[in-house]
A and B are shown apart, each in its own frame.
Chain A
């Protein structure tokens, strides 16, 4: 482990190159994935929401996800990352889950229930980050991510009230769940090793993945849902 604390964007300029590159990679990753999520899932979901109440709630969720992209992009700009590196289609490959366009309201509820739990774990891992501007950004983002996961729980609770609704939600869970554990990266990730070396992140990808599977299983079972077996989970 290497002890270093970077309290400001200014101080980052004097940090070791490996540290600066690691911070940049994380900021780019979050900026791009927040934007993909908003574009591929949250904004299209507004059309599928069944009532004005659900539509405007989804609007708010979409705007907060876009807002997360804006915040990460602003931090990226402050630390010298070119804007075009923080938007999709300019190099970094998106997560596989973003390759499946949203088709139903139930799919969106399943994504909020499970994929946003994965986002919570990712943000949690930054809450003790040694680069304090990123740590502070994670702290600002966390309440909104928790609200999005709660959105997933609230609408899951609504859907499972009827056998048909529960079946449709379970089908959506079955479709999306297999893609989620890979959200946490490879078991032998060199990037993750560097993040932990500098205490930018705290846990290995496998530790986070196992925690996610445990927590996702718990939250799914609250609503009588099951998670299908997946080969690479845990």
Chain B
């Protein structure tokens, strides 16, 4: 007898509501709050990066420079990716593969359109953003939605993707780890 369950529609709908309610890119460049710092530290610690300084990108050109810097820390990306793969395997063990895949694709597509518009609005307000950077921001934000969905469908509500999403929901964009700094925009 198969132990594979049907997808949790209510859980996915709750996530959709969270995605729509988030303040995507609304606080870019603003001074960091204690809440931002707390979520950033939690996010880094959950990926086994301790004692990082929390940095701030001032504007879009600053963010673009940091994102293209050759001295970024690949271990940050690799740890997220390894965790995502593990969580996806757990989710695939719980739910029918095609239904899971379709739900994730449709959620991410819907979120992608939303965050793309929010990034464009933020870039227009602040100015000086390269056109491609709006796509970069949308890619980063929709990746965060996808990671969060995978984690929750895997039954892991305490993953780093929760604190990462909270940063986005608060209007921030976590740009990644460069050396001893986790940089937020």
A residues near B (Cβ < 8 Å) are 47, 51-53, 55-61, 63-64, 66-67, 69-70, 87, 147, 151, 154
- 7 A-B contact pairs sorted by A residue (CB < 8 Å): A52-B67, A53-B67, A55-B77, A59-B140, A66-B105, A70-B106, A154-B132
**A57 CA / B175 CA spacing, docked (Å):** 13
Return chain A residues, CB-CB under 8 Å to B132.
Answer: 57, 151, 154
Known contacts A52-B77, A60-B138; A69 and B67 CB within 8 A of each other: no
Return chain B residues, CB-CB under 8 Å to A53.
Answer: 64, 67-68, 133, 136
Report the minimal beta-carbon distance from A46 to chain B, rounded to whole angstroms: 9
Is there an interface contact between B135 and A60, defined as CB atoms closer than 8 Å?
A: yes
B163 lies within 8 A of chain A by Cβ = no
Is there an interface contact between A147 and B105, defined as CB atoms closer than 8 Å?
A: no
Q: Is the interface of B mostly helix, strand, loop or mixed?
A: helix
Is there an interface contact between B140 and A56, defined as CB atoms closer than 8 Å?
A: yes
Report the minimal beta-carbon distance from B113 to chain A, rounded to whole angstroms: 8
Is there an interface contact between A58 and B139, defined as CB atoms closer than 8 Å?
A: yes
Complex partner residue of A63 from B64, B81, B142, B176, CB under 8 angstroms: B142
Which of the four size classes fits the interface of chain B?
20 to 34
Is there an interface contact between A63 and B112, defined as CB atoms closer than 8 Å?
A: yes
Q: Is the interface of A mostly helix, strand, loop or mixed?
A: helix
Report the minimal beta-carbon distance from A67 to chain B, rounded to whole angstroms: 4
**A22 CA / B124 CA spacing, docked (Å):** 43
Is there an interface contact between B105 and A69, defined as CB atoms closer than 8 Å?
A: yes
Interface string of B54-98 (1 = CB under 8 A from A): 000000000010011110100001000100000000000000001
Closest to B137 in A: A56
Closest to A47 in B: B81
Closest to A55 in B: B77
Known contacts A63-B109, A67-B109; A57 and B135 CB within 8 A of each other: yes
Complex partner residue of B68 from A51, A63, A154, CB under 8 angstroms: A51
Known: A52-B67, A67-B113. 15 other contacts (CB 8 A): A53-B133, A53-B136, A57-B132, A57-B135, A57-B136, A57-B139, A60-B112, A60-B116, A60-B138, A63-B109, A63-B112, A64-B112, A67-B109, A87-B98, A147-B135
